[in-house]
């Protein structure tokens, strides 16, 4: 990865002077999350030494460290009083598809943003064809993942190959605050909808482009899903067992981490727009965003020349640390000991041999196989729920390995209303995931399930854009609303 041409061309790696005993040494660390046409994301200084800025912040007058400037804040609502949703005035034109992109606009919709999803029945969002389906019946309006990841959005169908559809898009660009897209880098160019064109219509527009490898570089046209991005980013060589082929992380990994980064980047760009009056284009490469989740491994390679490898469930800082068989078919319990007290409690519970009980972390790692065998001998005849309860009761981090049915019934999941029944135009109701985080005064919540094709065509064309019946009829006759 440190030598990958794509990252070199995009000037991804941040170069910092790392303090060493023999003097500072230049090293490469993970760089900015995205490329922008606005104010560039700041290069961060090297991590501080322990206590490096203590004197400064105790008022010694030292020049070390950054100055702290208080920002004006809006008056807070009284505790317990809910306010309007924080993004109620934000309008988003959404060209995202699949998972990595729509997950970001779904979160923004949860917190009040008006999101108009643009798609076409001629080339539907791939997620409409992915199981599970309601009633096990395949169909474009039955896909539960689509219902969840696009909850709370409006749907407008347009055939973007037609000039009439492009005119509608330009009117929506003038209306919106943010335009999001996750096509290949050439798609918006082919439709004549580049950022340079769009900012002529709306100079304050924030455009967010999310694709696998970014808008520039020799690999920019590389198409694929999160599994490919995870493989390129280096997750596969470090995930799995050392004596087996790479396993990789579960499912399309970068599809699930990219939305969180996307939300942050979009909100940051809106904050800058509010401060400066200028919009910008954000070029987010999903693979580059994922590199930050391996930042420690890259730093270890760059600084110490130590290449990370596969270690199964072992952890450098915890032992024991693994998943252990319980009674029943394919039943397991995850257990981790970070402190000596936790290990002591576990050792007593499983009646570990005396010569194992007083081992420190380094010694336990050296005897990991023996310790794992002792734990397994205790867990195998017991029910996973009983193991979990016994370990948690004595302060040992542990939890049964859950399947989908377990999650639906999990008391914590149920208490936090993670799975919600919400209205759906075809099915009456559908199931979606709730917002992934909670704000006490401005809670977010999906209001309806993923929309049907063109469900909000008239609401968008007449209600938002103010088109009259004749204008809408012209679009229908031209075949633009498909």
Burial of 200 (0-12, 13-18, 19+ CB in 10 A): exposed
79-129: per-residue pLDDT in tens? 656 668 999 999 999 999 999 999 999 999 999 999 999 999 999 999 999
Q: To which residue do tokens 């070029």 refer?
A: 283
Least confidently predicted of 47-61, 267-281, 370-384: 47-61
The 8-class DSSP code of residue 284 comes to E
341: which 2 tokens? 């007290």
270, 216 contact by CB (below 8 A): no
The answer on pLDDT for 373 being more than 60 is yes
d(C-alpha 307, C-alpha 297), whole Å = 7
Average pLDDT over residues 204-221: 98
Would 91-294+420-478 and 321-409 be classified into the same CATH topology? no
180, 104 contact by CB (below 8 A): yes
d(C-alpha 25, C-alpha 302), whole Å = 11
| Mean pLDDT rounded to a whole number for the chain | 94
332, 399 contact by CB (below 8 A): no
Dihedral sign, Cα of residue 351, residue 353, residue 359, residue 361: negative
Q: Which residues of 58-76 are buried (b: 16+ CB within 10 A; e: fewer)?
A: eeeeeeeeeeeeeeeeeee
Measured in residues, the chain has a length of: 482
| CA trace torsion 46, 50, 54, 57 (10° rounding) | 40
Which of 448, 430, 455, 405 lies closest to 134, judged by CA? Answer: 430
Which of 159, 127, 119, 170 lies closest to 145, judged by CA? Answer: 127
156-195: per-residue pLDDT in tens? 999 999 999 999 999 999 999 999 999 999 999 999 999 9
The 8-class DSSP code of residue 136 comes to G
163: which 2 tokens? 């000039």
215, 234 contact by CB (below 8 A): no
CATH number of 91-294+420-478: 3.40.50.10540
**pTM to 2 decimal places:** 0.93
434: which 2 tokens? 């709730």
The answer on pLDDT for 319 being more than 90 is yes
User: What are the phi and psi torsion angles at 93 (to 5°)?
Assistant: -100, 115
Tell me the domain boundaries of the chain. 91-294+420-478, 321-409
281: which 2 tokens? 């284009």
Cα–Cα separations (whole angstroms), residue 58 to 49, 67, 198? 16, 12, 49
What topology is assigned to 321-409 in CATH? formyl-coa transferase, domain 3 (3.30.1540)
Give the pLDDT band (50/70/90) at residue 68.
Answer: low
């Amino acid at each position: 990865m440190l030598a990958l041409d794509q990252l070199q061309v995009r000037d991804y790696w941040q170069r910092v002077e790392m303090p060493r005993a023999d003097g500072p040494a230049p090293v490469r660390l993970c760089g900015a999350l995205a490329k922008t046409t606005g104010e560039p994301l700041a290069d961060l200084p090297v991590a501080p030494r322990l206590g490096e800025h203590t004197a400064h912040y105790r008022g010694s007058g030292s020049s070390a460290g950054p100055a702290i400037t208080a920002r004006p804040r809006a008056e807070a609502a009284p505790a317990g009083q809910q306010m309007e949703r924080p993004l109620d005035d934000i309008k988003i034109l959404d060209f995202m598809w699949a998972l990595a992109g729509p997950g970001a606009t779904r979160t923004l919709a949860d917190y009040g943003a008006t999101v108009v999803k643009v798609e076409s029945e001629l080339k539907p969002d791939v997620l409409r064809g992915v199981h599970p389906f309601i009633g096990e019946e395949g169909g474009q309006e039955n896909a539960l993942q689509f219902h969840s990841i696009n909850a709370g959005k409006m749907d407008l169908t347009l055939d973007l190959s037609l000039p009439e559809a492009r005119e509608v898009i330009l009117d929506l660009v003038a209306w919106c605050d943010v335009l999001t897209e996750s096509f290949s880098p050439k798609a918006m160019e082919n439709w004549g909808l580049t950022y340079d064109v769009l900012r002529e219509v709306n100079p304050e527009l924030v455009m967010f482009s999310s694709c696998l490898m970014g808008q520039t570089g020799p690999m920019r046209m590389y198409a694929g899903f999160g599994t490919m991005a995870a493989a390129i980013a280096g997750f596969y060589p470090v995930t799995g067992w050392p004596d087996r082929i790479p396993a990789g992380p579960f499912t399309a990994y970068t599809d699930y981490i990219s939305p969180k980064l996307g939300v942050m980047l979009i909100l940051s760009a809106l904050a800058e727009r509010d401060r400066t009056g200028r919009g910008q284009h954000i070029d987010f490469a999903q693979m580059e965003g994922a590199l930050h989740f391996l930042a420690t491994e890259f730093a270890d390679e760059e600084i110490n020349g130590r290449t990370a490898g596969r270690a199964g469930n072992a952890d450098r800082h915890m032992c024991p640390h693994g998943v252990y068989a319980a009674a029943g078919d394919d039943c397991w319990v995850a257990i981790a000991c970070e402190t000596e007290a936790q290990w002591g409690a576990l050792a007593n519970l499983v009646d570990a041999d005396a010569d194992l009980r007083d081992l420190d972390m380094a010694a336990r790692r050296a005897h990991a196989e023996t310790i794992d065998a002792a734990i397994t001998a205790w867990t195998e005849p017991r029910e996973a729920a009983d193991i979990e309860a016994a370990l948690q009761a004595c302060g040992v981090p542990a939890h049964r390995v859950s399947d989908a049915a377990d999650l639906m019934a999990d008391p914590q999941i149920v208490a936090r209303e993670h799975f919600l029944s919400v209205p759906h135009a075809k099915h009456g109701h559908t199931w979606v995931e709730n917002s992934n985080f909670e704000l006490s005064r401005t809670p977010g919540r999906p209001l309806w399930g993923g929309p049907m094709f063109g469900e909000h065509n008239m609401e968008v064309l007449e209600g938002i854009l103010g088109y009259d019946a004749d204008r809408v009829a012209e679009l229908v006759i031209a075949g633009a609303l498909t």
